[in-house]
Amino acid sequence: MSVKITYFVHGTTTDNENHRSTGQLHGELSSRGIQQSKELKNQISLDDFDGVFCSDLQRAVDSAKYTFGGVKPIIQDKRLRECDYGDLNGADETLVVYEQHIYKSFPNGESMQEVEKRMRAFCAFLLKNYNGKHIAIVAHKAPQFAFQVITEKKSWEQVIDEDWRKRKAWQPGWEYVIEPFYNEPSPPKGNYAFIDGQNLHLWTTNETPQWKIDFLKFRRYLSEKYGVIKAYYFLWYIMDNNKELYTKLQEAGFIVMFKQQTSQMITHKKWNVDSDMIFCMMKSLIEEEFDKIILVSGDWDYKIVVDYLIKKQKFLKVLLPNTKFASSLYKRLETTYYDYLQHIKHKLIQ
What is the CATH code for 3-183? Answer: 3.40.50.1240
Residue 188 has pLDDT above 80, yes or no: no
Question: pLDDT: is 77 or 341 the higher one?
Answer: 77
Supply angle C-alpha 143, 147, 148, rounded to 5.
Answer: 120
Separation between Cα atoms, residue 82 and residue 139, nearest integer Å = 7
Type of residue at 186: S
Residue 209 CB coordination number (10 Å)? 4
Residue 267 has pLDDT above 60, yes or no: no
| pLDDT, average across residues 32-61 | 96
Separation between Cα atoms, residue 116 and residue 105, nearest integer Å = 13
186-195, 232-241, 272-281 — most confident range: 272-281
Question: pLDDT: is 207 or 327 the higher one?
Answer: 327
Roughly what angle, to the nearest 10 degrees, separates helices 243-252 and 215-226? 30
Type of residue at 335: T
- Report pLDDT digits (tens) over 49-71: 999 999 999 999 999 999 999 99
Q: Are strands 174-178 and 3-9 parallel, antiparallel or unpaired?
A: antiparallel
Contact status, residue 78 vs residue 70, Cβ threshold 8 Å? no
The residue among 211, 195, 164 whose CA lies nearest residue 293 is: 195
pTM: 0.61
Domain with CATH 3.40.50.1240 in the chain: 3-183
Share of the chain above pLDDT 90, in %: 56
Contact status, residue 83 vs residue 23, Cβ threshold 8 Å? yes
Residue 169 CB coordination number (10 Å)? 9
- At residue 261 the predicted structure's pLDDT band, cuts being 50, 70 and 90, is low
Supply angle C-alpha 281, 189, 251, rounded to 5.
Answer: 70
The sign one gets for the Cα dihedral 167, 169, 173, 176 is negative
Domain with CATH 3.40.50.1010 in the chain: 191-347
Residue 322 has pLDDT above 60, yes or no: yes
Question: pLDDT: is 323 or 75 the higher one?
Answer: 75
Separation between Cα atoms, residue 110 and residue 90, nearest integer Å = 15
The CATH number, out of the four listed (3.40.50.1010, 3.40.190.170, 3.40.50.300, 3.40.50.2000), of the domain defined by the range 191-347: 3.40.50.1010
Separation between Cα atoms, residue 315 and residue 292, nearest integer Å = 5
- Tell me the average pLDDT of the chain: 88
The residue among 183, 186, 182, 164 whose CA lies nearest residue 174 is: 164
Residue 296 has pLDDT above 90, yes or no: yes
Contact status, residue 141 vs residue 174, Cβ threshold 8 Å? no
